[in-house]
Structure 1
Amino acid sequence: MESLISSVPNLPIFFLGFMIIYVIAYFGVFRNWSPKLRPEASSCLISYAHGTPAVFLASFAIAAQAQSGFAAQNTDFQNTVLDYSIGYFLTDLLHYLYFYPSDILFIMHHLATLFVFITCRYLVLHGAFAILVLLILAEVTSFCQNTWTLASARRMDVPIAAKLYELMSPPFYVFYTVVRGFAGPMFVYQMGVFYLSGKADDVIPRWISVSWIVVVVVAISVSIMWIANLWAELYRESTKRKNVEKKLR
Protein backbone atom coordinates (compact mmCIF):
# COMPACT_ATOMS: atom_id res chain seq x y z
CA MET A 1 0.00 0.00 0.00
CA GLU A 2 2.84 2.37 0.79
CA SER A 3 4.44 1.87 -2.61
CA LEU A 4 1.05 2.38 -4.28
CA ILE A 5 0.48 5.70 -2.53
CA SER A 6 3.99 6.92 -3.23
CA SER A 7 3.65 6.27 -6.96
CA VAL A 8 0.16 7.71 -7.50
CA PRO A 9 1.51 11.21 -8.52
CA ASN A 10 3.16 9.62 -11.58
CA LEU A 11 -0.12 9.44 -13.48
CA PRO A 12 -1.11 13.14 -13.39
CA ILE A 13 2.49 14.11 -14.20
CA PHE A 14 2.59 11.83 -17.24
CA PHE A 15 -0.87 12.94 -18.34
CA LEU A 16 0.12 16.61 -18.07
CA GLY A 17 3.33 15.89 -19.99
CA PHE A 18 1.49 14.28 -22.90
CA MET A 19 -1.05 17.11 -22.93
CA ILE A 20 1.75 19.66 -23.16
CA ILE A 21 3.35 17.75 -26.03
CA TYR A 22 0.00 17.62 -27.82
CA VAL A 23 -0.58 21.38 -27.42
CA ILE A 24 2.96 22.15 -28.64
CA ALA A 25 2.40 19.88 -31.62
CA TYR A 26 -0.97 21.36 -32.52
CA PHE A 27 -0.17 25.03 -32.05
CA GLY A 28 3.54 24.90 -32.82
CA VAL A 29 5.05 22.02 -34.77
CA PHE A 30 2.09 21.52 -37.14
CA ARG A 31 0.62 25.03 -37.06
CA ASN A 32 1.11 25.42 -40.84
CA TRP A 33 -0.61 22.14 -41.69
CA SER A 34 -4.22 22.14 -42.86
CA PRO A 35 -6.90 22.02 -40.12
CA LYS A 36 -7.90 18.54 -41.29
CA LEU A 37 -4.38 17.13 -40.79
CA ARG A 38 -3.22 18.97 -37.65
CA PRO A 39 -5.13 16.81 -35.13
CA GLU A 40 -3.90 13.51 -36.59
CA ALA A 41 -0.35 14.81 -36.84
CA SER A 42 -0.46 16.00 -33.22
CA SER A 43 -1.70 12.57 -32.18
CA CYS A 44 1.25 11.03 -34.01
CA LEU A 45 3.67 13.26 -32.11
CA ILE A 46 2.43 12.14 -28.67
CA SER A 47 2.52 8.59 -30.00
CA TYR A 48 6.20 9.11 -30.86
CA ALA A 49 6.72 10.29 -27.26
CA HIS A 50 5.01 7.19 -25.92
CA GLY A 51 5.62 4.26 -28.26
CA THR A 52 9.35 3.65 -28.49
CA PRO A 53 10.09 4.85 -24.91
CA ALA A 54 7.34 2.52 -23.67
CA VAL A 55 8.97 -0.43 -25.45
CA PHE A 56 12.30 0.22 -23.73
CA LEU A 57 10.75 1.00 -20.35
CA ALA A 58 8.54 -2.10 -20.43
CA SER A 59 11.50 -4.26 -21.49
CA PHE A 60 13.62 -2.96 -18.61
CA ALA A 61 10.74 -3.38 -16.17
CA ILE A 62 10.28 -7.01 -17.20
CA ALA A 63 14.01 -7.76 -17.15
CA ALA A 64 14.36 -6.27 -13.66
CA GLN A 65 11.49 -8.32 -12.23
CA ALA A 66 12.81 -10.98 -9.86
CA GLN A 67 9.86 -13.33 -10.30
CA SER A 68 8.20 -12.98 -13.68
CA GLY A 69 5.03 -14.73 -14.77
CA PHE A 70 1.42 -14.11 -15.67
CA ALA A 71 0.38 -13.95 -12.01
CA ALA A 72 3.43 -12.22 -10.57
CA GLN A 73 2.99 -9.14 -8.40
CA ASN A 74 3.68 -5.82 -10.10
CA THR A 75 6.92 -4.07 -9.23
CA ASP A 76 7.05 -0.32 -8.58
CA PHE A 77 8.87 0.17 -11.88
CA GLN A 78 6.20 -1.78 -13.75
CA ASN A 79 3.49 0.33 -12.13
CA THR A 80 5.32 3.45 -13.28
CA VAL A 81 5.41 2.17 -16.87
CA LEU A 82 1.68 1.41 -16.66
CA ASP A 83 1.06 4.97 -15.42
CA TYR A 84 3.10 6.26 -18.35
CA SER A 85 0.89 4.42 -20.83
CA ILE A 86 -2.32 5.35 -19.02
CA GLY A 87 -1.31 9.01 -19.28
CA TYR A 88 -0.77 8.64 -23.02
CA PHE A 89 -4.02 6.80 -23.73
CA LEU A 90 -6.03 9.30 -21.66
CA THR A 91 -4.55 12.15 -23.72
CA ASP A 92 -5.19 10.43 -27.04
CA LEU A 93 -8.71 9.51 -25.90
CA LEU A 94 -9.47 13.19 -25.30
CA HIS A 95 -8.06 13.89 -28.76
CA TYR A 96 -10.52 11.46 -30.35
CA LEU A 97 -13.47 12.61 -28.23
CA TYR A 98 -12.89 16.22 -29.28
CA PHE A 99 -11.85 15.94 -32.93
CA TYR A 100 -13.33 12.58 -33.97
CA PRO A 101 -16.31 11.82 -31.69
CA SER A 102 -17.87 9.61 -34.36
CA ASP A 103 -14.81 7.34 -34.55
CA ILE A 104 -16.35 4.79 -32.22
CA LEU A 105 -13.83 2.06 -33.06
CA PHE A 106 -10.79 4.00 -31.84
CA ILE A 107 -12.66 5.43 -28.84
CA MET A 108 -13.72 1.95 -27.77
CA HIS A 109 -10.17 0.69 -28.36
CA HIS A 110 -8.73 3.34 -26.05
CA LEU A 111 -11.40 2.75 -23.39
CA ALA A 112 -10.77 -1.00 -23.48
CA THR A 113 -7.00 -0.50 -23.33
CA LEU A 114 -7.39 1.86 -20.38
CA PHE A 115 -9.55 -0.72 -18.63
CA VAL A 116 -6.77 -3.31 -18.94
CA PHE A 117 -4.03 -0.96 -17.78
CA ILE A 118 -6.02 0.57 -14.93
CA THR A 119 -7.28 -2.74 -13.51
CA CYS A 120 -3.76 -4.18 -13.66
CA ARG A 121 -2.22 -1.08 -12.11
CA TYR A 122 -4.75 -0.02 -9.50
CA LEU A 123 -7.13 -2.91 -8.84
CA VAL A 124 -5.33 -6.27 -8.83
CA LEU A 125 -1.67 -5.11 -8.69
CA HIS A 126 -0.66 -8.33 -10.45
CA GLY A 127 -0.18 -9.41 -14.06
CA ALA A 128 1.96 -6.51 -15.26
CA PHE A 129 4.34 -8.98 -16.90
CA ALA A 130 1.63 -10.04 -19.37
CA ILE A 131 0.34 -6.52 -19.94
CA LEU A 132 3.82 -5.09 -20.54
CA VAL A 133 4.70 -7.81 -23.04
CA LEU A 134 1.50 -6.91 -24.88
CA LEU A 135 2.49 -3.25 -24.65
CA ILE A 136 5.84 -4.05 -26.26
CA LEU A 137 4.14 -5.98 -29.07
CA ALA A 138 1.68 -3.14 -29.60
CA GLU A 139 4.20 -0.30 -29.58
CA VAL A 140 7.27 -1.82 -31.23
CA THR A 141 5.78 -0.87 -34.61
CA SER A 142 4.63 2.60 -33.50
CA PHE A 143 7.63 4.57 -34.78
CA CYS A 144 7.25 3.10 -38.26
CA GLN A 145 3.48 3.48 -38.16
CA ASN A 146 3.58 7.14 -37.10
CA THR A 147 6.17 7.99 -39.75
CA TRP A 148 4.13 6.13 -42.36
CA THR A 149 0.96 7.90 -41.22
CA LEU A 150 2.53 11.37 -41.46
CA ALA A 151 3.98 10.56 -44.88
CA SER A 152 0.58 9.30 -46.01
CA ALA A 153 -1.11 12.48 -44.80
CA ARG A 154 1.18 14.73 -46.90
CA ARG A 155 1.92 12.51 -49.89
CA MET A 156 -0.50 14.37 -52.15
CA ASP A 157 1.19 17.76 -51.75
CA VAL A 158 4.78 16.97 -50.69
CA PRO A 159 6.82 14.86 -53.16
CA ILE A 160 9.30 13.64 -50.54
CA ALA A 161 6.39 12.48 -48.37
CA ALA A 162 4.98 10.54 -51.31
CA LYS A 163 8.35 8.90 -51.91
CA LEU A 164 8.74 8.03 -48.24
CA TYR A 165 5.24 6.57 -48.12
CA GLU A 166 5.98 4.44 -51.18
CA LEU A 167 9.30 3.20 -49.79
CA MET A 168 7.98 2.50 -46.30
CA SER A 169 4.72 0.76 -47.09
CA PRO A 170 5.93 -2.78 -47.96
CA PRO A 171 8.52 -3.16 -45.14
CA PHE A 172 6.16 -1.56 -42.63
CA TYR A 173 3.35 -3.90 -43.66
CA VAL A 174 5.66 -6.91 -43.28
CA PHE A 175 6.88 -5.76 -39.87
CA TYR A 176 3.35 -5.07 -38.64
CA THR A 177 2.07 -8.39 -40.01
CA VAL A 178 4.77 -10.40 -38.24
CA VAL A 179 4.19 -8.66 -34.91
CA ARG A 180 0.40 -8.45 -34.92
CA GLY A 181 -0.35 -11.47 -37.04
CA PHE A 182 2.06 -14.00 -35.52
CA ALA A 183 3.94 -12.89 -32.39
CA GLY A 184 0.88 -11.28 -30.80
CA PRO A 185 -1.50 -14.23 -31.23
CA MET A 186 1.16 -16.69 -30.01
CA PHE A 187 1.65 -14.76 -26.78
CA VAL A 188 -2.08 -14.23 -26.25
CA TYR A 189 -2.60 -17.98 -26.64
CA GLN A 190 -0.10 -18.65 -23.84
CA MET A 191 -1.71 -15.94 -21.75
CA GLY A 192 -5.18 -17.41 -22.32
CA VAL A 193 -4.10 -20.96 -21.44
CA PHE A 194 -2.64 -19.75 -18.15
CA TYR A 195 -5.48 -17.51 -17.02
CA LEU A 196 -8.25 -19.87 -18.08
CA SER A 197 -6.57 -22.66 -16.12
CA GLY A 198 -7.40 -20.75 -12.93
CA LYS A 199 -3.79 -20.55 -11.75
CA ALA A 200 -4.07 -16.79 -11.21
CA ASP A 201 -7.53 -16.71 -9.64
CA ASP A 202 -6.14 -16.10 -6.14
CA VAL A 203 -4.61 -12.76 -7.17
CA ILE A 204 -6.46 -11.82 -10.37
CA PRO A 205 -10.24 -12.45 -10.35
CA ARG A 206 -11.32 -14.63 -13.25
CA TRP A 207 -13.64 -11.96 -14.69
CA ILE A 208 -10.73 -9.54 -14.96
CA SER A 209 -8.29 -11.97 -16.57
CA VAL A 210 -10.95 -13.15 -19.02
CA SER A 211 -11.84 -9.56 -19.87
CA TRP A 212 -8.15 -8.87 -20.55
CA ILE A 213 -8.05 -11.78 -22.98
CA VAL A 214 -11.23 -10.66 -24.73
CA VAL A 215 -9.96 -7.10 -25.11
CA VAL A 216 -6.62 -8.25 -26.51
CA VAL A 217 -8.15 -10.79 -28.90
CA VAL A 218 -10.53 -8.16 -30.29
CA ALA A 219 -7.71 -5.61 -30.61
CA ILE A 220 -5.45 -8.06 -32.46
CA SER A 221 -8.33 -9.11 -34.72
CA VAL A 222 -8.99 -5.49 -35.68
CA SER A 223 -5.26 -4.97 -36.29
CA ILE A 224 -5.14 -8.01 -38.57
CA MET A 225 -8.16 -6.76 -40.54
CA TRP A 226 -6.52 -3.32 -40.83
CA ILE A 227 -3.23 -4.63 -42.18
CA ALA A 228 -5.04 -7.08 -44.46
CA ASN A 229 -6.91 -4.15 -46.02
CA LEU A 230 -3.62 -2.30 -46.51
CA TRP A 231 -2.07 -5.32 -48.21
CA ALA A 232 -5.11 -5.56 -50.49
CA GLU A 233 -4.87 -1.85 -51.33
CA LEU A 234 -1.15 -2.18 -52.05
CA TYR A 235 -1.86 -5.11 -54.36
CA ARG A 236 -4.55 -3.15 -56.21
CA GLU A 237 -2.26 -0.14 -56.64
CA SER A 238 0.58 -2.37 -57.87
CA THR A 239 -1.69 -4.12 -60.36
CA LYS A 240 -3.08 -0.82 -61.60
CA ARG A 241 0.42 0.60 -62.05
CA LYS A 242 1.55 -2.46 -64.01
CA ASN A 243 -1.48 -2.21 -66.29
CA VAL A 244 -0.74 1.45 -66.97
CA GLU A 245 2.89 0.63 -67.78
CA LYS A 246 1.80 -2.09 -70.22
CA LYS A 247 -0.47 0.34 -72.05
CA LEU A 248 2.33 2.88 -72.36
CA ARG A 249 4.68 0.38 -74.00
Structure 2
Amino acid sequence: METSILPSPTLPTFFSIFLLIYLSAYFLLFRNWGPNHRPEASSCLISLSHGTAAAAMAAHAILRSHKATTFASPNTPTQNTVLEFSVAYFSLDLLHYVLFFPNDVLFILHHLATLYVFTTCRYVVRHGAHAILVLLLLAEITSGCQNAWTLAGFRRAGSPAAAKLYDFLSPKFYALYSVFRGILGPMFMYKMGVFYVSGAADPVIPRWAWVSWMVVISVAICLSILWVLNLWIDWCKNKMQKKMR
Protein backbone atom coordinates (compact mmCIF):
# COMPACT_ATOMS: atom_id res chain seq x y z
CA MET A 1 0.00 0.00 0.00
CA GLU A 2 1.25 3.47 -0.89
CA THR A 3 2.12 5.78 1.97
CA SER A 4 2.45 9.54 1.91
CA ILE A 5 5.96 10.92 2.15
CA LEU A 6 4.72 13.83 4.28
CA PRO A 7 3.58 13.72 7.90
CA SER A 8 -0.09 14.11 8.74
CA PRO A 9 -1.94 16.42 9.01
CA THR A 10 -0.62 18.12 5.91
CA LEU A 11 -3.41 20.68 5.36
CA PRO A 12 -2.58 22.88 8.39
CA THR A 13 1.11 22.57 7.57
CA PHE A 14 0.62 23.66 3.98
CA PHE A 15 -1.66 26.52 5.01
CA SER A 16 0.95 27.74 7.49
CA ILE A 17 3.65 27.64 4.83
CA PHE A 18 1.57 29.65 2.36
CA LEU A 19 0.64 32.11 5.10
CA LEU A 20 4.32 32.59 5.96
CA ILE A 21 5.16 33.20 2.30
CA TYR A 22 2.29 35.67 1.95
CA LEU A 23 3.19 37.63 5.08
CA SER A 24 6.87 37.70 4.12
CA ALA A 25 5.95 39.03 0.71
CA TYR A 26 3.52 41.61 2.08
CA PHE A 27 5.67 42.97 4.90
CA LEU A 28 9.15 42.47 3.46
CA LEU A 29 9.52 41.72 -0.23
CA PHE A 30 6.82 44.06 -1.57
CA ARG A 31 6.63 46.54 1.31
CA ASN A 32 7.49 49.47 -0.97
CA TRP A 33 4.88 48.66 -3.60
CA GLY A 34 1.64 50.62 -3.85
CA PRO A 35 -1.43 49.87 -1.71
CA ASN A 36 -3.11 47.92 -4.52
CA HIS A 37 -0.13 46.14 -6.02
CA ARG A 38 1.32 45.15 -2.66
CA PRO A 39 -1.40 42.60 -1.78
CA GLU A 40 -1.74 41.57 -5.43
CA ALA A 41 1.97 40.86 -5.68
CA SER A 42 1.85 38.91 -2.42
CA SER A 43 -0.97 36.83 -3.85
CA CYS A 44 1.12 36.27 -6.98
CA LEU A 45 4.00 34.97 -4.92
CA ILE A 46 1.91 32.33 -3.16
CA SER A 47 0.33 31.50 -6.52
CA LEU A 48 3.81 30.98 -7.93
CA SER A 49 4.79 28.90 -4.90
CA HIS A 50 1.68 26.78 -5.29
CA GLY A 51 1.48 26.46 -9.05
CA THR A 52 4.98 25.28 -9.83
CA ALA A 53 5.03 22.85 -6.91
CA ALA A 54 1.47 21.64 -7.54
CA ALA A 55 2.26 20.86 -11.17
CA ALA A 56 5.31 18.85 -10.13
CA MET A 57 3.45 17.09 -7.32
CA ALA A 58 0.49 16.29 -9.56
CA ALA A 59 2.80 14.90 -12.25
CA HIS A 60 4.55 12.79 -9.62
CA ALA A 61 1.25 11.45 -8.29
CA ILE A 62 0.01 10.67 -11.80
CA LEU A 63 3.21 8.84 -12.71
CA ARG A 64 3.01 6.82 -9.49
CA SER A 65 -0.54 5.73 -10.25
CA HIS A 66 -1.17 2.08 -10.97
CA LYS A 67 -1.57 1.17 -14.63
CA ALA A 68 -5.15 0.10 -13.95
CA THR A 69 -6.05 3.51 -12.49
CA THR A 70 -9.30 4.99 -13.82
CA PHE A 71 -11.17 8.22 -13.23
CA ALA A 72 -13.06 6.41 -10.46
CA SER A 73 -10.13 4.82 -8.65
CA PRO A 74 -9.71 5.40 -4.90
CA ASN A 75 -7.49 8.32 -4.00
CA THR A 76 -3.96 7.37 -3.04
CA PRO A 77 -2.17 9.04 -0.10
CA THR A 78 0.05 10.90 -2.55
CA GLN A 79 -2.95 12.19 -4.48
CA ASN A 80 -4.61 13.29 -1.24
CA THR A 81 -1.47 15.19 -0.28
CA VAL A 82 -1.56 17.12 -3.55
CA LEU A 83 -5.24 17.91 -3.05
CA GLU A 84 -4.56 19.18 0.47
CA PHE A 85 -1.68 21.28 -0.83
CA SER A 86 -4.03 22.97 -3.29
CA VAL A 87 -6.85 23.31 -0.74
CA ALA A 88 -4.44 25.15 1.55
CA TYR A 89 -3.39 27.56 -1.20
CA PHE A 90 -6.88 28.32 -2.49
CA SER A 91 -8.17 28.78 1.06
CA LEU A 92 -5.53 31.40 1.82
CA ASP A 93 -5.89 33.14 -1.53
CA LEU A 94 -9.66 33.20 -1.06
CA LEU A 95 -9.12 34.91 2.28
CA HIS A 96 -6.82 37.38 0.51
CA TYR A 97 -9.54 38.31 -1.99
CA VAL A 98 -12.24 38.59 0.66
CA LEU A 99 -10.06 40.94 2.72
CA PHE A 100 -8.51 43.10 0.00
CA PHE A 101 -10.73 42.73 -3.07
CA PRO A 102 -14.24 41.78 -1.89
CA ASN A 103 -15.75 43.17 -5.09
CA ASP A 104 -13.75 40.79 -7.28
CA VAL A 105 -16.66 38.38 -7.34
CA LEU A 106 -15.41 36.33 -10.28
CA PHE A 107 -12.17 35.34 -8.56
CA ILE A 108 -13.95 34.64 -5.29
CA LEU A 109 -16.45 32.38 -7.05
CA HIS A 110 -13.60 30.69 -8.93
CA HIS A 111 -11.79 29.90 -5.71
CA LEU A 112 -14.95 28.68 -3.99
CA ALA A 113 -15.77 26.40 -6.93
CA THR A 114 -12.23 25.06 -7.06
CA LEU A 115 -12.25 24.40 -3.33
CA TYR A 116 -15.57 22.60 -3.73
CA VAL A 117 -14.10 20.19 -6.27
CA PHE A 118 -10.91 19.56 -4.30
CA THR A 119 -12.56 19.14 -0.90
CA THR A 120 -15.36 16.87 -2.11
CA CYS A 121 -12.86 14.73 -3.98
CA ARG A 122 -10.52 14.57 -0.99
CA TYR A 123 -12.85 14.36 2.00
CA VAL A 124 -16.29 13.26 0.77
CA VAL A 125 -16.03 11.05 -2.30
CA ARG A 126 -12.43 9.90 -1.78
CA HIS A 127 -12.30 8.70 -5.37
CA GLY A 128 -11.49 10.31 -8.70
CA ALA A 129 -8.38 12.28 -7.75
CA HIS A 130 -6.48 10.99 -10.77
CA ALA A 131 -8.63 13.00 -13.18
CA ILE A 132 -8.66 16.07 -10.94
CA LEU A 133 -4.87 16.04 -10.71
CA VAL A 134 -4.46 15.81 -14.48
CA LEU A 135 -6.57 18.96 -14.76
CA LEU A 136 -4.56 20.56 -11.96
CA LEU A 137 -1.36 19.80 -13.86
CA LEU A 138 -2.74 21.32 -17.06
CA ALA A 139 -3.91 24.39 -15.15
CA GLU A 140 -0.78 25.02 -13.10
CA ILE A 141 1.96 24.14 -15.56
CA THR A 142 1.77 27.72 -16.86
CA SER A 143 1.88 29.23 -13.36
CA GLY A 144 5.52 30.28 -13.40
CA CYS A 145 5.19 32.15 -16.66
CA GLN A 146 1.82 33.64 -15.71
CA ASN A 147 2.95 35.02 -12.38
CA ALA A 148 6.17 36.45 -13.81
CA TRP A 149 4.03 38.11 -16.50
CA THR A 150 1.60 39.43 -13.89
CA LEU A 151 4.31 40.85 -11.63
CA ALA A 152 6.00 42.50 -14.61
CA GLY A 153 2.64 43.99 -15.55
CA PHE A 154 2.30 45.58 -12.11
CA ARG A 155 5.63 47.39 -12.52
CA ARG A 156 5.76 48.12 -16.24
CA ALA A 157 4.38 51.67 -15.93
CA GLY A 158 7.34 52.81 -13.85
CA SER A 159 10.04 50.38 -14.93
CA PRO A 160 11.34 50.04 -18.50
CA ALA A 161 12.88 46.68 -17.59
CA ALA A 162 9.53 45.40 -16.30
CA ALA A 163 7.78 46.73 -19.41
CA LYS A 164 10.31 44.97 -21.63
CA LEU A 165 9.88 41.72 -19.72
CA TYR A 166 6.10 42.04 -19.91
CA ASP A 167 6.20 42.55 -23.68
CA PHE A 168 8.62 39.64 -24.06
CA LEU A 169 6.53 37.24 -21.98
CA SER A 170 3.09 38.21 -23.27
CA PRO A 171 2.89 36.23 -26.55
CA LYS A 172 4.78 33.30 -25.09
CA PHE A 173 2.53 33.11 -22.05
CA TYR A 174 -0.62 33.52 -24.16
CA ALA A 175 0.50 30.71 -26.48
CA LEU A 176 1.39 28.39 -23.62
CA TYR A 177 -1.86 29.15 -21.83
CA SER A 178 -3.86 28.62 -25.02
CA VAL A 179 -2.36 25.19 -25.58
CA PHE A 180 -2.87 23.86 -22.05
CA ARG A 181 -6.11 25.62 -21.10
CA GLY A 182 -7.69 26.02 -24.52
CA ILE A 183 -6.79 22.73 -26.22
CA LEU A 184 -5.52 20.04 -23.86
CA GLY A 185 -7.91 21.01 -21.06
CA PRO A 186 -11.10 20.64 -23.13
CA MET A 187 -9.80 17.42 -24.68
CA PHE A 188 -9.22 15.87 -21.28
CA MET A 189 -12.53 17.20 -19.96
CA TYR A 190 -14.31 15.47 -22.85
CA LYS A 191 -12.53 12.23 -21.97
CA MET A 192 -13.70 12.60 -18.36
CA GLY A 193 -17.25 13.30 -19.47
CA VAL A 194 -17.40 10.21 -21.65
CA PHE A 195 -16.18 8.08 -18.75
CA TYR A 196 -18.65 9.49 -16.23
CA VAL A 197 -21.65 9.44 -18.56
CA SER A 198 -20.96 5.79 -19.31
CA GLY A 199 -21.82 5.02 -15.69
CA ALA A 200 -18.43 3.48 -14.96
CA ALA A 201 -17.97 5.71 -11.92
CA ASP A 202 -21.48 5.39 -10.49
CA PRO A 203 -20.67 2.60 -7.99
CA VAL A 204 -18.10 4.76 -6.16
CA ILE A 205 -18.65 8.39 -7.23
CA PRO A 206 -22.20 9.70 -6.67
CA ARG A 207 -23.78 11.26 -9.72
CA TRP A 208 -24.22 14.61 -7.96
CA ALA A 209 -20.46 14.71 -7.42
CA TRP A 210 -19.22 14.06 -10.93
CA VAL A 211 -21.97 16.15 -12.50
CA SER A 212 -21.10 19.12 -10.29
CA TRP A 213 -17.39 18.59 -10.98
CA MET A 214 -18.01 18.63 -14.71
CA VAL A 215 -20.09 21.80 -14.45
CA VAL A 216 -17.37 23.59 -12.47
CA ILE A 217 -14.62 22.37 -14.81
CA SER A 218 -16.59 23.31 -17.93
CA VAL A 219 -17.29 26.83 -16.70
CA ALA A 220 -13.68 27.30 -15.60
CA ILE A 221 -12.32 26.19 -18.97
CA CYS A 222 -14.76 28.41 -20.87
CA LEU A 223 -13.81 31.43 -18.77
CA SER A 224 -10.12 30.66 -19.25
CA ILE A 225 -10.58 30.52 -23.02
CA LEU A 226 -12.47 33.82 -23.04
CA TRP A 227 -9.80 35.42 -20.86
CA VAL A 228 -6.87 34.40 -23.04
CA LEU A 229 -8.84 35.26 -26.18
CA ASN A 230 -9.28 38.81 -24.90
CA LEU A 231 -5.56 38.95 -24.14
CA TRP A 232 -4.75 37.88 -27.70
CA ILE A 233 -7.13 40.50 -29.09
CA ASP A 234 -5.53 43.27 -27.01
CA TRP A 235 -2.05 42.09 -27.98
CA CYS A 236 -2.91 42.11 -31.68
CA LYS A 237 -4.48 45.58 -31.39
CA ASN A 238 -1.37 46.93 -29.68
CA LYS A 239 0.84 45.40 -32.36
CA MET A 240 -1.22 47.01 -35.10
CA GLN A 241 -1.20 50.38 -33.36
CA LYS A 242 2.59 50.28 -33.02
CA LYS A 243 2.96 49.51 -36.73
CA MET A 244 0.72 52.42 -37.66
CA ARG A 245 2.77 54.94 -35.68
Q: Is the Cα contact below 8 Å between 1:55 and 1:139 reproduced in 2?
A: yes
Name the counterpart of 2:29.
29
Q: Is the Cα contact below 8 Å between 1:196 and 1:210 reproduced in 2?
A: no
Larger Rg: 1
Name the counterpart of 2:48.
48
Q: Distance in 2 between matches of 1:8 and 1:122?
A: 14
Name the counterpart of 1:247.
none
Q: Distance in 2 between matches of 1:80 and 1:223?
A: 26
Q: Distance in 2 between matches of 1:184 and 1:159?
A: 35
Q: 1:206 to 1:7 in 2, by over 3 A?
A: farther
Deviations 1:142-192 (A, max 9, x none): 100000000011000011000000111111111111111100000000001
Alignment of 1:19-168 (within 5 A): 19-66=19-66, 67-168=68-169
Name the counterpart of 2:240.
239
Q: Distance in 1 between matches of 2:99 and 2:63?
A: 38
Deviation of residue 118 (structure 1)?
0.2
Q: Distance in 2 between matches of 1:94 and 1:24?
A: 16
Q: Write out the 4+ residue segments of structure 1 that deviate beyond 4 Å after TM superposition.
A: none
Q: Distance in 2 between matches of 1:229 and 1:211?
A: 27
Q: 1:201 to 1:8 in 2, by over 3 A?
A: farther
Q: Distance in 2 between matches of 1:116 and 1:89?
A: 11
Deviation of residue 7 (structure 1)?
6.8
Q: Distance in 2 between matches of 1:39 and 1:133?
A: 30
Q: TM-score normalised to the size of structure 2?
A: 0.96
Question: Matched residue of 1:31: which SS?
Answer: coil
Q: Is the Cα contact below 8 Å between 1:7 and 1:80 reproduced in 2?
A: no
Q: Is the Cα contact below 8 Å between 1:62 and 1:68 reproduced in 2?
A: no
Q: Distance in 2 between matches of 1:34 and 1:104?
A: 22
Deviation of residue 8 (structure 1)?
5.6
Aligned pair 1:220/2:221, yes or no?
Answer: yes
Deviation of residue 25 (structure 1)?
0.5
Q: Is the Cα contact below 8 Å between 1:51 and 1:140 reproduced in 2?
A: yes
Count of aligned residue pairs for this structure pair: 241
Q: Distance in 2 between matches of 1:21 and 1:227?
A: 28
Question: Matched residue of 2:153: which SS?
Answer: helix
Q: Distance in 2 between matches of 1:240 and 1:49?
A: 36
Deviation of residue 139 (structure 1)?
0.1
Question: Matched residue of 2:229: which SS?
Answer: helix
Q: Distance in 1 between matches of 2:22 and 2:69?
A: 35
Q: Give aligned-pair identity as a percent.
A: 58
Letter in 2 for 1:23: L
Q: Is the Cα contact below 8 Å between 1:15 and 1:88 reproduced in 2?
A: yes
* Higher alpha-carbon deviation: 67-76 or 213-222: 67-76
Q: TM-score normalised to the size of structure 1?
A: 0.94
Deviations 1:56-86 (A, max 9, x none): 1111111112242101111011101110000
Q: Which runs of 5+ in 1 are unaligned?
A: 245-249
Deviations 1:77-116 (A, max 9, x none): 1101110000000010000000110111000000000000
Deviation of residue 198 (structure 1)?
1.2
Q: Which runs of 5+ in 2 are unaligned?
A: none
